[in-house]
Structure 1
Amino acid sequence: MGKVLTVAVGSPFRPVTHVATGGLYGLAENGKPADSTLLPLKVNSLTQPAPGVGQRPNGQPPGGDSLLVAPQATRVGAGEYIRMPDIYPNFPYKWVSWNDWLAKVDTMVRARLNATSVTNILGWELWNEPDWTWNTSAAGAFNDGWSRTYRAVRALDTTTPIVGPSISYYNRSWLSSFLSSAKAAGTLPDIICWHELGSPNNIAANIADYRALESSLGISPRRISINEYAATSEVDVPGRIASYVAKFERAGVESAHRAFWYEYGTMNGLVTNNTQPTGTWWLYKWYGDMAGRMVTTTPPNQTGLDGFASYDGTRKIVNVVLGNEAGTNTVRLTGIGALGPSVQVTVESTHTQSRFTAAPAATSVSSAVYRVTGDQLLVIVPNMAASDGYHVVVQPASGVPSYQQRYEAEDASVFRAQRLTASSASEGGYVGRIDNATSTHSTDSYVDFVVNVPAARTYTMTIGYANGGGATATQGLAVNGGSWGAVSYPATSGWGQFGATTGTTVGLKAGYNVIRLAKGSPGFSGGTGNAELDYIQLT
């Protein structure tokens, strides 16, 4: 039996937002890697270099300019953080002067403000790893420099979230000094950020300690981004990555980005030759296939076997991804009575030879029908290698719909709106406060659904929604960046009270498509009234 990973299917704890499917410098200009390799991963977000990038990581030419890659990032549903000090060519950064830096800040922010078709920017990252890259002797104390830079950005851009301090590892005393100074100055970051580049084993403790620190300083909870994770020895090891992702999901981070150690345009080693997946890509593909809600997983300890799991209640499919342990081990699933008395269980694995070696498919391990006993099931995963990733899929033996038809709004890519909860909502979640319609990059509100359909044809799209405004509301509808149509939402019984639906049709190509529902978006003059989104369903 070995070690046991327990999956409590009846204990969901958050929407499936693929928080750890992100990358530092994941994209290069000219569509690299190909969209076809990114769409299946449901890329959450990226950290990309500043407009006019000068950074030459690992001796490469400058690349990955955040504004230049924005069209591709948008096509695959990903948001971006802009890393401002990457305007400089060297790493560690070579400080010139305050006049030079503030002039560069002004230039970067104005370039972004002038890029009126770019709406996927999630935040300004003011500096990177200041705990060792900030030149205190030349620039003065970082805490003062942070506030000075913060004010320079806010003087031009009053709405885009600010991200930081992006220290190279979790350091309570460093953060305590920084947060105390920023609180006093009125320059607290909107999104708190640090890096986890050594081992996943400390992630839970670090985040718990940060929350305690935040509370002790009287600071309201910040969103957390770990925008660099996994060391060079870990980033291409699927089993190790499974442990990182599991811990990020359980800890409630908003986003996490694979660290950049090698080449631009490969999604940090997930793609080779622009279009071919590596072994680690398959682990993220399994992650991308998850829908519905993340469910609670309990590892035997923090140092070995671990995994993450989801349950899609509309298709009755459980997905479990695990690794970081050798030998024969067990996945214990509880709360699976809704799947029926018999279930089909498939197990597959993936291994990475190198970031240059293509892996055209995952490896089949087993497929069998199991009898469910007492609402639980034990799945034995034999002969595991600690470096490999494993995928367990459990579904009713009687079969499931051939493709995912329902897509929860809270699982989608959400821009300038909020994920909320309601007992009447499908899977308990929805997206509300899709309020802005000024057709500017800083206020446009929309939700992008990345969907996958089996054939090119016209589909009926049913939208679950609420509209407590008392009159019919409208939103814009666009597919794959095409022309705009409109969706109408008649008034319902109230905000956050779901059960009403409205319908339309959409023409989709076979495979992956991106469907946008918008209150405001480039090329769309803006919707009327307001509507909250529960889900879309394609039939």
Structure 2
Amino acid sequence: MRPRVRALLLALTTATASVTVAASPAAAAGATLTVNVAQPFRPVTHAASGGLYGLAENSRPADSTLLPIKPNSLTQPAPGVGQRPNGQPPGGDSLLVAPQATRVGAGQFIRMPDIYPDFPYRWVSWDDWLAKVDTMVRARLNATTVTNVIGWELWNEPDYTWNTAAAGNFNDGWVRTYRAVRALDPQTPIVGPSTAVYNRSWMQAFLIRARDTGTLPDIICWHELQNPARIAADLADYRNLEASLGISPRRISINEYAAPAEVDVPGRVASYVAKFERGGVESAHRAFWYEYGTMNGLVVNNNQPTGTWWLYKWYGDMAGNMVTTTPGAQTGLDGFASYDPTRRIVNVVFGDEAGTNTVNLTGLGALGSSVRVTLLSTPSSGRFTAVTAPTTVSTTTRTVSGGQLSVSVPNMSATSAYQLVVEPVSGVPAYQQRYEAENASVFRAQRLTASSASGGGYVGRIDNSGTPRTDSYVDFVVNVPAARAYTMTIGYANGTGATATQGLAYNGGAWGTVSYPPTAGWGQFGATVSTTVTLRAGYNVIRLAKGSPYFSGGTGYAELDYIQLT
């Protein structure tokens, strides 16, 4: 067992006696997953597609393996990283991998204690730690082209790694470190406490001290490294605790998830992702157990996909809104689903159960009375076996009755994941043309809702320019069939009463400007402007920005509904 595996499992088993390495569930005949396509609950953001130490220097893994899975965010080591995970040389320095993270549309948390070489971290002194904090923050401030840092993670697993005897009480140490970071950087969000497990009494003591000292984290974080069945209860308990203490709702990140026996098992990963989506977490990152440069086991042998990569590819293909999924009682079967109304595609990903099981779909009225149903599977190949493509289990034409359809899935393996795609038999567009702003990577802006917006959502408060810590922009990861010029139509609103402008760039190229004439008001959509973009075949990243490196900044304000490529 590798050193970090030993250390983390020790932390988990000492934190709570009930935590054990979760095995795949036994077969349970007749399990059911219900998908209500007519009940969206939030926009697709690929919240759980991130990774701890997901990137290594020299563009490892390759952009071509990352763009299809649309990593929402990453946790990367501090500038000047000293951490030697599992005996490897230090790697993954957040500032050195920032260009690649930017190319694939991912934000980064910077894990500050990774400046130390050992895990568990070896405390030296407060003078040593505060000097390191100063060095790390100044290095980030001097990186004037890096805009994708979305949080300072002040410590990692303090319920296991904090040396109370030498450093004093962690909650006092949090206050001291928070104030040291804020003295230099008053703008970048702060992330914590990043405990190894969720523990109510531990969290309560932390929150009270942080509340009373004005040092509450902007993003609350803990780890879910064992047994996805506890996730819903942990999230609900935290929200109740937060409210009981008079603390306004924090964004939640689970920036390490899945145990060593689970992280390469797509059936179990599907259960984790389903519960994170259902629970409303902003981001979740695959745990790091082994080696750099593979996005924690998603690729092998010169960037070839493993079985688990295909699950994240299916997740990356989702667009529109996440829709409600409900697992049956006393079953491992779980999954997550989306509906893209612009193409009328239902995309369901599920697993963690064996035998013959059923997916019941409701709310399918918009697809018509006849649909094409495609069922795919991807195996638990492990981290060292490439899987060149998922397996097509079946393709059938089915009749929808009363907006409902029941699909039997025979001979499931609990370790495999499955994708069910339902679309009209009349066909769907050959490629995705409309990209909702709320599905994109959003930096220093806000996802909002409006009845007049395409898909019901949009991005507003794209207000800031001037520094790499405050620049507001939206990155659209798009996939087109051919290298050529495309007409890009932008749905927008501009309630300023005057023309507003934003910068436009794609694939890191030269900046242009988009002008938005005034519209009827904020959050009132229907107006469009069009421009031309010349894209390469395959994946491209298109940025619309109020502020960004090498762009002097836009004028006025505009809200983004969608872009459409034709």
Q: Find the counterpart in structure 2 of residue 492 from structure 1.
A: 519
Cα offsets for 1:46-99 (capped at 9, x unmatched): 000000000000000000000000000000000000000000000000000000
Amino acid at match of 1:484: W
Please tell me whether the aligned partners of residues 265 and 274 of structure 1 are also in contact (alpha carbons under 8 angstroms): no
**Unaligned ranges ≥5, structure 1:** none
Q: Spell out the pairing of 1:74-85 with structure 2 (5 A cutoff).
A: 74-85=102-113
Please tell me whether the aligned partners of residues 308 and 381 of structure 2 are also in contact (alpha carbons under 8 angstroms): no
Q: Find the counterpart in structure 1 of residue 458 from structure 2.
A: 430
Aligned mates of 2:381, 2:285 — CA distance in 1 = 22
Residue 274 of structure 1, CA deviation: 3.7
For the pair 1:162 / 2:209, whether they are aligned, the reply is no
Aligned mates of 2:246, 2:561 — CA distance in 1 = 34
Of residues 181, 185, 209 in structure 1, which corresponds to 2:237? 209
Residue 126 of structure 1, CA deviation: 0.1
Q: Spell out the pairing of 1:134-145 with structure 2 (5 A cutoff).
A: 134-145=162-173
Amino acid at match of 1:499: G
Of residues 204, 209, 216 in structure 2, which corresponds to 1:176? 204
SS at match of 1:381: strand
Q: Find the counterpart in structure 2 of residue 456 from structure 1.
A: 483
Please tell me whether the aligned partners of residues 32 and 274 of structure 1 are also in contact (alpha carbons under 8 angstroms): no
Amino acid at match of 2:98: A
Q: Find the counterpart in structure 1 of residue 175 from structure 2.
A: 147
Aligned mates of 1:3, 1:323 — CA distance in 2 = 11
Aligned-residue RMSD, C-alpha: 0.7
Q: Find the counterpart in structure 1 of residue 22 from structure 2.
A: none
For the pair 1:481 / 2:491, whether they are aligned, the reply is no
Please tell me whether the aligned partners of residues 443 and 473 of structure 2 are also in contact (alpha carbons under 8 angstroms): yes
Please tell me whether the aligned partners of residues 458 and 562 of structure 2 are also in contact (alpha carbons under 8 angstroms): yes
Segment drifting more, 271-280 vs 457-466: 271-280
Please tell me whether the aligned partners of residues 466 and 532 of structure 1 are also in contact (alpha carbons under 8 angstroms): yes
Aligned mates of 1:132, 1:298 — CA distance in 2 = 35
Q: Find the counterpart in structure 1 of residue 334 from structure 2.
A: 306
| Cα 1:302/1:135, change in 2 over 3 Å | farther
Residue 303 of structure 1, CA deviation: 4.8
| Cα 1:303/1:192, change in 2 over 3 Å | farther
Query: Matched residues, percent identical?
Result: 80
Please tell me whether the aligned partners of residues 31 and 331 of structure 2 are also in contact (alpha carbons under 8 angstroms): no
For the pair 1:327 / 2:327, whether they are aligned, the reply is no
Cα offsets for 1:450-502 (capped at 9, x unmatched): 00000000000000000000000000000100000110100000001111111
Aligned mates of 2:458, 2:149 — CA distance in 1 = 22
Aligned mates of 2:283, 2:330 — CA distance in 1 = 21
Residue 437 of structure 1, CA deviation: 1.8
For the pair 1:443 / 2:443, whether they are aligned, the reply is no
Aligned mates of 1:59, 1:498 — CA distance in 2 = 54
Q: Find the counterpart in structure 1 of residue 432 from structure 2.
A: 404
Q: Find the counterpart in structure 1 of residue 548 from structure 2.
A: 521
Q: Find the counterpart in structure 2 of residue 236 from structure 1.
A: 264
Amino acid at match of 1:146: W
Amino acid at match of 1:455: A
Amino acid at match of 2:508: G
Amino acid at match of 1:16: V
Q: Spell out the pairing of 1:81-160 with structure 2 (5 A cutoff).
A: 81-160=109-188
Aligned mates of 1:392, 1:12 — CA distance in 2 = 18
Aligned mates of 2:330, 2:226 — CA distance in 1 = 14
Aligned mates of 2:302, 2:475 — CA distance in 1 = 24
Q: Find the counterpart in structure 1 of residue 8 from structure 2.
A: none
| Cα 1:302/1:467, change in 2 over 3 Å | farther
Aligned mates of 2:182, 2:469 — CA distance in 1 = 13
Q: Find the counterpart in structure 1 of residue 531 from structure 2.
A: 504
| Cα 1:206/1:106, change in 2 over 3 Å | same
Please tell me whether the aligned partners of residues 126 and 163 of structure 1 are also in contact (alpha carbons under 8 angstroms): yes
Residue 267 of structure 1, CA deviation: 0.4
Amino acid at match of 2:110: I
Please tell me whether the aligned partners of residues 329 and 384 of structure 1 are also in contact (alpha carbons under 8 angstroms): yes
How many pairs align?
538
Q: Find the counterpart in structure 2 of residue 246 from structure 1.
A: 274
Of residues 219, 224, 234 in structure 2, which corresponds to 1:196? 224
SS at match of 2:464: coil
Cα offsets for 1:415-454 (capped at 9, x unmatched): 011111111111111000000121x111111000000000
Q: Find the counterpart in structure 1 of residue 15 from structure 2.
A: none
| Cα 1:196/1:412, change in 2 over 3 Å | same
Of residues 337, 342, 345 in structure 1, which corresponds to 2:373? 345
SS at match of 1:100: helix
Stretches of 4+ moved more than 4 A in 1?
Answer: none
Residue 302 of structure 1, CA deviation: 6.3
Aligned mates of 1:270, 1:495 — CA distance in 2 = 42
Q: Find the counterpart in structure 2 of residue 65 from structure 1.
A: 93
Amino acid at match of 1:407: Y
Q: Find the counterpart in structure 2 of residue 294 from structure 1.
A: 322
TM-score (norm 1): 0.99
Please tell me whether the aligned partners of residues 201 and 302 of structure 1 are also in contact (alpha carbons under 8 angstroms): no
Q: Find the counterpart in structure 1 of residue 39 from structure 2.
A: 11
Please tell me whether the aligned partners of residues 49 and 312 of structure 2 are also in contact (alpha carbons under 8 angstroms): yes
Cα offsets for 1:15-64 (capped at 9, x unmatched): 00000000000000000000000000011000000000000000000000
Aligned mates of 1:274, 1:283 — CA distance in 2 = 19
SS at match of 2:384: coil
Q: Find the counterpart in structure 1 of residue 3 from structure 2.
A: none
Amino acid at match of 1:292: G
For the pair 1:366 / 2:394, whether they are aligned, the reply is yes
Aligned mates of 1:318, 1:279 — CA distance in 2 = 22
Aligned mates of 2:341, 2:489 — CA distance in 1 = 18
TM-score (norm 2): 0.95
Q: Find the counterpart in structure 2 of residue 530 from structure 1.
A: 557
Of residues 20, 27, 30 in structure 1, which corresponds to 2:58? 30
